[in-house]
Amino acid sequence: MDAAMALSQRQPIASDGPALRVSGITPLTTIDFPDHLTCVLYSQGCPLRCGYCQNPNLIPFETDEEQLDWPAVEQFLQRRIGLLEAVVFSGGEPTLQPGLHAAMRAVVRLGFKVGLHTAGVSCSRLAELLGLLDWVGLDVKAPDDLYQRVTGRRHQARENHRCLELLLNSTTPFECRTTVHWQLLQPDDLLRLARQLAEWGVRQYAVQISHGHSCLDPALKQNPALPTALKAGLQTELSGLFERFEWRE
């Protein structure tokens, strides 16, 4: 679902509350927080430049596109009490939003669980949020030697490792996941990364196949399909490494 689809339903309300830049809402989803009915709030701004990014409009931190005032978000959530179980903060990269901590506290006061999707770009920010989180989806983009090719940024692998270490040493449930475009990662690259994650102690892992379409890099609009036998073998080998594994297409 398009991250900005809910903007058309926005009611003009004077800005008040947490200074969180929300560019859109997915009102209902069953796949963004395992085993929970949830909605997703998409924040504005991301420091990475992943070519397969499906929401390139969320990359700029400053944008002329209309944003949702927090009171409008909170009114939406109040109407969903008893219907939703959790709220997931996604992006963009939500951990870089200065109002995220206050927004999460507001969600907790409404009685929802709190989920977070992050690319692991700031361990210090993640550490500040950890006590409010019921679940984290941590994007691990690639093996270290391919991280810059996938994200367009240097030194991101190091900070991602720090975030993963923080989660491994916490009691917060989390999932690592890797979005795959076969022009950027080969099956052997993915398997190499998965083995490393399993060795470090990751128990839940998901592979998300890029659909191309409206991605940031037009050259990645078509994602070549793997041969059936190669795909089946790769899935079998990956599933044997983790307690919980999902292949999402």
Asked, for residue 58, whether it belongs to a domain, the answer is: yes
Contacts of residue 39, Cβ cutoff 8 Å, sequence gap at least 6:
25, 26, 27, 28, 29, 76, 77, 80, 84, 87, 88
Asked, for residue 173, whether it belongs to a domain, the answer is: yes
Adjacent-strand bridge partners of 114: 87
Burial bucket for residue 246 (CB in 10 Å: 0-12, 13-18, 19+): middle
**What's the confidence (pLDDT) of residue 214?**
81
Residue pair 214/52 in contact (Cβ under 8 Å)? The answer is no
Task: Measure the CA angle with vertex 219, ends 217 and 225; round to 5°.
Answer: 115
Asked, for residue 199, whether it belongs to a domain, the answer is: no
Q: Write out the residue range of the structural domain in which residue 152 sits.
A: 5-180
Asked, for residue 220, whether it belongs to a domain, the answer is: no
**What's the confidence (pLDDT) of residue 6?**
42
Question: Within the chain, which residues score under 70 in pLDDT?
Answer: 1-17
Instruction: List the CATH number of the domain containing 60.
Output: 3.20.20.70
**What's the confidence (pLDDT) of residue 21?**
84
Asked, for residue 202, whether it belongs to a domain, the answer is: no
**What's the confidence (pLDDT) of residue 10?**
36
Selection from 86, 107, 117 nearest residue 179 by Cα: 117
Asked, for residue 37, whether it belongs to a domain, the answer is: yes
Residue 79, φ and ψ in degrees, nearest 5:
-75, -15
Q: What is the total count of domains within the chain?
A: 1
**What's the confidence (pLDDT) of residue 17?**
57
Asked, for residue 229, whether it belongs to a domain, the answer is: no
CB atoms within 10 A of CB 225: 11
Peptide bond into 92 cis (omega under 30): yes
